[in-house]
Each structure stands twice: as C-alpha cells, then as structure tokens.
Amino acid sequence: MLSRLQQLWQFRGGLHLDEYKQSSTTAPIQTIPLPAKLILPLQQHLGHTAEAIVKKGDKVLKGQKIAEATGYVSVPLHAPTSGTIIDIGDYPVAHPSAMKSSCIVIEPDGQDQWAEKQTISDYKTLTPEQIREIVSEAGIVGMGGAGFPSFIKLNPGEEKKVKTLILNGAECEPYITCDDMLMREQAKNIIAGARIMLYSLQAERCLIGIEDNKPEAISAIQNAASAFSDITVVAVPTLYPTGGEKQLIKVLTGLEVPSQSLPGSIGIVCHNVATANAVYHAVILGEPSVSRIVTVAGDKVKTPRNLEVLIGTPFNDLINACDGLTDENTPLIMGGPMMGFRVHSSEAPVIKTCNCILAKEDQSHHEQHMPCIRCAKCAEACPVNLLPQQLYWYARAKDFDKAQDYKLFDCIECGCCDYVCPSHIPLVQYYRFAKTEIWVQEQDKQKSDIARERHEFRQLRLEREKRERAERHKQKQEALNKSGDKDKKQEAIQAALDRVKAKRESQQENKNQES
C-alpha cells in the first residue's frame, strides 16, 4: 500500500545527527568462514538466564537446543553449527561491567549439519498459540533493543485486544545499517514474518516505519508488501530517536503510550523488522535463532560492512573479516555511538541483541565536565518529556525516590540530553548508575525479606523446641511427684501404723498399771 497518504505526527525533542551510514552499505551482506570457536553466553537477553542441558564432550547438531529457558521471561538457546561442546564456564562477554559470565563453548566440526527441521508450508494450519510456542522454542528475542522474548509480545492478551502491529525499521542511530541491509535483501521474508505475526496477534493492520534516509529499503519493502492491503509502509522523517518504541508509535499513530506502561495497553505491539525475519525462519523453515546480521563500522574499521554471523562468533573474527582496524588499540563499542557501551574484550562473542560493533575515534566530551548551568537544553532535547537536569541532580545526590518521582524509569537512555549539554555532564551514566542502584537495592530488599522469614522461622523452631523441652521436663517432674505421692502414702501408712502401735503400747501400759 502507498505510504504518502498516511498522516504523520511528531514527538517532542530529538536530534538531527550525522548519519555515517554510507560506508557500511556499499557492499551486500557477507557471510564469514566458520570461527574456530563459538562462545554462547547463557544470558542472551533481558530476563532469566537459560540453563545448559548439554555437557562437555557432547556432540551437537546445528539448531539443536543446548540450553533451556528458565521462567517465563526466558527462551532457550541453540547450537549455531554442528560440533563438540568443549567447555561450559566463565568467559568474557559484551557487558559494561567487564565481568565474565557463564558460556557454552562449541568447537565447530566444519560440517554445519542441521538437526531435523520442522518445515511448514502454510502457517494458517497452526493456531496462534502454536505459533507463539514455535517462536518461544526457537529462542527469538527482540533483535533491535534489550532483547525481550518475542513470543510474549505476540500474545494479544485476554481483553486488551491488539489492533495494530508496528514493524520498526527506523534504525535511527548513526553508523548502524544492519536493518537497512536486511530490508533491502530479505524484504520478502520480513513481510512473510509480518503476516505470521499479524495472524498470531489477530491484529487488523501492520504499519512498517522506515526513516526516509533509506530509500532502497523503503522500495524493497513496499514491493514485497504491495499484495497486502493490511500492510502499510510508511517513510518517516529522519530524526533521532525515531526508532525508540514509544517515539515511533507516536510518529505513526499520534498515540502516546502512558508512563511506565507497555504499548499493548493502547492496542499496539511493536517488533523489529529483523525479528519478523527470524519469525519467518522459525515458523516456515523450522530454523531457530542461531545467526544475525551485525554492522561493523566506525572510522577505525578498514572496510566497514554488514556481516551475517553465527551467534557466539567472537568480535575479533568480525573485525578480521573487515580487514582489521587501523589502530589496534581502539576500544570496541557494542551498539551505536549514542546508546552503545564499551566492550572490554575483543574476545567477547556476538549475542542475539548485538546489532553493531563500532570502532571509532573517542569523542567523549565528558572528561572536563562543568557545573549544570540550568540552561534547560537537555529538557528541550529529551524525546520523553523528562527533566534531565532534575534527574541528574537527584541521581547525583543519591535521592533515588525523588529520581523515580521524576520518572527515571521512563528514560530510554537515548543520550540526547547528554549530547546537547553545554557543561558536558555525563548525564546518561548518572541515570544508568541510579537505575542499577535501585535494582540492586530491590534485590537486597528481597534478600532481607527472606532473611527475616528464615530468622522468624528459626525463632519459632527454637521456641517450639524450648516448649517441647519444658514439656518433657514437666512430665518428668510429674512422674517424680507421683512417686513422691507414694512416699507420702507410705509415710501416712507408716504414721498410722506408728499411731496404732503407740496406742497399743499405751493401752498395754494402762493394763499393766491396772493389774
């Protein structure tokens, strides 16, 4: 369907940024040779960590499940190629903490041999529940952001009926082009995925939002969707962060998602275009989530490009496939320049949510930050209508209650405030600091609640034991007392006998006296 007729809205704030998207889009997506090792962190996404179900020495096939979901917000993990499990242990991962984390390590056997796949020609032979089950079992998580398990967002819920499915192809952050390239090259599969998602959600329509700086992607998707009247492709103005879920919803529908709630509350569900592609692969081809497209970019990368790699491929292998770095010591960033974070080891592997590896000149201006001059530039730029300077103030003072009153958890960490701040205050780091402090405080609170329960339980137990001891003591005492009674009786008998004896004796005496 045509996109020009669609009315568009605008969110408040946002920034026009230099795009740097040209260099990584000149060549098509490339695959790379099988790496020597695949390292698969058990924590691939937001939510509960998966649990390994293989052990060292096991042989696995491509697509075979190697770790099971734990809890609801969790999905399984699959072997990205055939080979041998050579270790399960702690390895460096892409995380700002620089800590190691539990990983399954696979040594590929070079065959890349699939386990048996369940293909399906017509998804409509399945029920929406069955589709969600397949998407969950295939380990699919949101491929654009924090990686929320996708099957949860394919459930229309009981009453809150989902009317609109939005596919997010905005890709607003500089340098990142993996969705752009995917849309150009795999538009058909994305649309096939969108149809499955529409069916699973029982939704009425699908809007696909793509920033107008990607004309090739727009026309490819438009061609693929032309046969379907319920799918509309919309070119949206290029403005950072249009790719934010709530921002894109606003632009496409004019609706605001209320603070602290999910789009589902207003009848909308939003998925990434790459997630739609993964859903197609899982449902129709029977292939779980074992690979993804990653942009390798930045002025320190010799040949920036997009690579299709297996999950678990070390960053080094991707860098090498791009002919290396011009300066070996450049720190790597996972994600884009605005929202990404520094990765401390180039041995860290690609996970399901890794859209970009960036190696660029460090332009951080935070070194010499100055006092806040209350210019309110940050508030003007904030796309969520927050008051960044207040958030900063309370985060810095560790007044986390106040920070939450000022909607700290609505902050999407887009970095707009940070970017415009004339005092160069590292605002986003203050917010991340405050958020993680609050999470850990909540964890501590849960821990101390458990400690209280255990302590009270122990005290009950000690009291019971004390009572039982007292009880036993009493019983013994009573037994003793009873035996004491006996003595008394005997005493009484004795006394009686004595009295009788005495009487007799006195009678005897009397008699003697009389006689």
Partner 1 sequence: MLTAILSLAGLAILFGLILGFAAVRFRVESDPVVDKIDALLPQTQCGQCTYPGCRPYAEAMAKGEADINQCPPGGEQTIVALADLLGVDPKPLNPEMGEVKEEKTVVIIDEDICIGCTLCIQACPVDAILGAAKQMHTVIEEECTGCNLCIPPCPVECIYIVPRKKSIQNWKWPKPEETQVENGAKG
Least CB distance from residue 257 to partner 1, whole Å? 26
Contact between 402 and partner 1 by CB under 8 A: the answer reads no
248 is an interface residue for ligand SF4 by CB under 6 A: no
Taking CB under 6 A as the rule, does residue 378 contact ligand SF4? Answer: yes
In this structure, the dihedral spanned by the alpha carbons of residues 252, 229, 165 and 244, taken in order and rounded to 10 degrees, is -30
Q: Please provide the DSSP assignment of 8-30 as one string.
A: ----S--B------SGGGSS--E
* Residue closer to ligand SF4, measured from CB, 94 or 339: 339
Q: What does the alpha-carbon distance between residue 273 and residue 194 come to, in Å, rounded to a whole number?
A: 8
Place of tokens 């990686």: 147
Instruction: Compute, in degrees rounded to 10, the torsion defined by CA atoms 417, 432, 46, 167.
Output: 0
Residue number, 91 or 431, with CB nearest to ligand SF4 = 431
430 binds partner 1 (CB under 8 A): yes
In angstroms, give the least distance from the CB of 130 to partner 1.
Answer: 9
Closer residue to partner 1 in complex, CB, 97/223? 97
What sign has the CA pseudo-torsion 125, 128, 130, 135?
positive
Instruction: Quote the distance between the C-alpha of residue 7 and its chain's center.
Output: 34
Backbone torsion region of residue 286, taken as left when φ is above 0, otherwise alpha when ψ lies between -120 and 50, otherwise beta: left
Task: Decide: is 384 part of the binding site for ligand SF4 (CB under 6 A).
Answer: yes
Query: CA-to-CA distance for 40 and 311, rounded, in angstroms?
Result: 7
Site for partner 1 in 9-48 (CB under 8 A): 43
Q: Among residues 366, 488, 489, 503, which is the contact residue for partner 1, using CB under 8 A?
A: 366
**Does residue 425 bind ligand SF4 (CB under 6 A)?**
yes
Give which of ligand SF4, partner 1, none residue 426 binds (C-beta under 5 to 8 Å, depending on kind). partner 1
Nearest of 286, 292, 289, 284 to residue 308 by alpha carbon: 292
The DSSP code sequence of 443-462 is HHHHHHHHHHHHHHHHHHHH
Half-sphere exposure of 318 (CA within 13 A, CB side): 35
Total number of residues that touch partner 1 (CB under 8 A): 38
Task: Say whether residue 377 binds ligand SF4 (CB under 6 A).
Answer: yes
Nearest to 197 by CA among 301, 279, 79: 279
Q: Which of 336, 243, 239 is nearest to 16 (CA)?
A: 239
* Distance between CA atoms of residues 410 and 256, nearest Å: 13
The residue within the footprint of partner 1, chosen from 374, 455, 501, 504 (CB under 8 A), is 455
219: tokens are: 């026309």
> Is 358 an interacting residue with respect to ligand SF4 (CB under 6 A)?
no
Q: Give the burial string for 477-494 (b: 16+ CB within 10 Å, else e).
A: eeeeeeeeeeeeeeeeee
Residue type, 295: T
Q: Which is nearer to partner 1, 231 or 311 (CB)?
A: 311
Q: Does 429 bind partner 1 (CB under 8 A)?
A: yes
User: Among 22-30, 272-280, 397-405, 419-427, which window interacts with ligand SF4 (CB under 6 A)?
Assistant: 419-427
The correct pick among 417, 430, 434, 435 for binding ligand SF4 (CB under 6 A) is 417
SS3 486: helix
Interface characters, 53-92, with partner 1 (x: CB under 8 A):
----------------------------------------
Q: Which of 95, 246, 271, 360 binds partner 1 (CB under 8 A)?
A: 95
One residue of 413, 430, 434, 435 binding ligand SF4 per CB under 6 A: 413
Candidates 256, 449, 468, 509: give the one binding partner 1 (CB under 8 A): 449
The contact set with partner 1 (CB under 8 A) reads 43, 93, 95-97, 99, 101, 129, 133, 366, 368-371, 396, 425-426, 429-430, 432-433, 435-437, 440-441, 443-444, 448-452, 454-455, 457-458, 460
The contact set with ligand SF4 (CB under 6 A) reads 372-378, 381-382, 384, 386, 388-389, 391-392, 411-417, 421-423, 425, 427-428, 431
